[in-house]
């Protein structure tokens, strides 16, 4: 940047308060934060709009949705990555951990193929070309109910920007799909399985868990250490499962399915991440605990857009109103996720931090984005 960008007369959502002031962006960083309604010459008069840190997304399936917009459709990857990147920028997300599955099932009715290494190469290549609007890291979803997890994780290393490895165990009858009828509805609705095919799918996953599950979990934990990645659990349901997570060194729990599990996470210092769509809808689509209930109980630390990118900012605003503390609500999509994954240079409006900012107003209770900056450059 050759000139300062000054955003003035705004409601600044700071780490512990909201106050009127201005932010100066210079050289990709936040150079200065001032208080007051003054609008210096050359500044943008925000007219009382909110200025907040850029949103940090730790778990989103959005890239996979662009790669495979319909079952059996493989969209051109570079085009899909660029569209995904632009979409996230447009909703205020300035840092994303792109979820990619590792661990495939190339045989049987529920087969799914390997893709993560090739897709990661394409993403990292675009990043090296400075073709992306926002900051991208990798989030490897380690599927323990698979045939190829170990060999796929061997293909990644410390140079790949793997920020998170999450342990995924989708064995029917536990965790996310304790109620197997919910899994049945999902698989038949998305993939058109018959009764016989669904029964075969369930049997196959259970057999894979019995044959490989414990070894795959141990391997994923070891590889996460090799990458320097944060370990996450997924869909913890019981206190016993949380205790196992703690033993692995997990400090981030994605979508615990019960109050019992979320309470156990809080007691052990494991940050709880819940889906923004769950909060907005008032319920889990899988029939598990509602994010709002955990928020009220003090067991919700981080929000993820999961499968609806635009949900992230809306849910953070709703939490701010629910708690009567907009700074606390916004921290669930900025400071808290940054802290959970060790990103000390972003996540808060602070002098010296990366120039990742969003400007928004409230219209009918919903946030209307007016601008997004990534490293001081306007990207939406």
Sign of the C-alpha dihedral computed for residues 130, 132, 137 and 138 taken in this order: negative
Confidence of residue 192 (pLDDT cuts 50, 70, 90): low
Enumerate the β-bridge partners of residue 272: 253
Q: Which domains does the chain have, with CATH numbers?
A: 1-54+346-380 (2.30.40.10), 55-345 (3.20.20.140)
User: Residues 129-144: pLDDT tens digits?
Assistant: 999 999 999 999 999 8
Q: Residue 286 pLDDT > 50, yes or no?
A: yes
Confidence (pTM): 0.91
The neighbour count for residue 154, using CB atoms within 10 Å, is: 13
Burial 26-59 (b: 16+ CB within 10 A, else e): eeebbbebeeeeebeeebbbbeebbbbbbbbbbb
pLDDT of residue 111: 66
User: Residues 230-242: pLDDT tens digits?
Assistant: 999 999 999 999 9
The neighbour count for residue 309, using CB atoms within 10 Å, is: 23
Mean pLDDT value of segment 332-336: 98
Which CA distances in Å does 280 have to 211, 249, 256, 276, 314? Answer: 39, 31, 17, 6, 8
């Amino acid at each position: 940047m050759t000139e300062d960008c000054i955003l003035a007369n705004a409601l600044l959502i700071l780490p512990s308060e909201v106050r009127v002031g201005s932010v100066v962006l210079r050289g990709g960083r936040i150079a200065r934060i001032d208080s007051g309604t003054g609008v210096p010459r050359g500044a943008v008069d925000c007219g009382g709009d909110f200025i907040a840190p850029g949103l940090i997304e730790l778990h989103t399936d959005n890239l996979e949705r662009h790669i495979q917009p319909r079952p059996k459709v493989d969209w051109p990857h570079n085009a899909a990555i660029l569209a995904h990147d632009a979409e996230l920028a447009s909703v205020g997300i300035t840092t994303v951990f792109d979820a990619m599955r590792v661990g495939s099932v190339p045989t049987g009715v529920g087969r799914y193929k390997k893709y993560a290494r090739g897709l990661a190469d394409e993403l990292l290549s675009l990043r090296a070309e400075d073709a992306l609007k926002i900051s991208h890291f990798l989030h490897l979803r380690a599927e323990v109910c698979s045939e190829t997890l170990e060999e796929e994780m061997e293909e990644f290393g410390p140079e790949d920007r793997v920020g998170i490895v999450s342990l995924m165990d989708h064995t029917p009858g536990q965790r996310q799909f304790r109620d197997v009828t919910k899994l049945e509805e999902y698989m038949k609705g998305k993939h058109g399985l018959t009764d016989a095919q669904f029964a075969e799918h369930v049997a196959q996953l259970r057999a894979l868990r019995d044959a490989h599950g414990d070894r795959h979990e141990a391997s994923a934990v070891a590889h996460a250490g090799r990458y320097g990645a944060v370990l996450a659990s997924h869909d913890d349901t019981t206190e016993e499962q949380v205790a196992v997570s703690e033993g692995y060194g997990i400090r981030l729990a994605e979508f615990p399915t019960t109050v019992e599990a979320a309470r156990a996470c809080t007691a052990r210092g494991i940050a709880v991440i819940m889906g923004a769509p769950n909060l907005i809808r008032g319920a889990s689509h899988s029939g598990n605990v509602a994010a709002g209930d955990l928020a009220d109980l003090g067991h919700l630390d981080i929000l993820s857009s999961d499968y609806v990118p635009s949900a992230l900012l809306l849910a953070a605003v709703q939490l701010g109103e629910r708690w009567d503390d907009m700074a606390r609500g916004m921290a669930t999509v900025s400071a808290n996720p940054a802290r959970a994954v060790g990103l000390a240079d972003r996540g808060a409006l602070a002098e010296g931090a990366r120039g990742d900012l969003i400007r928004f107003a409230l219209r009918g209770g919903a946030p209307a984005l007016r601008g997004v900056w990534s490293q001081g450059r306007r990207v939406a």
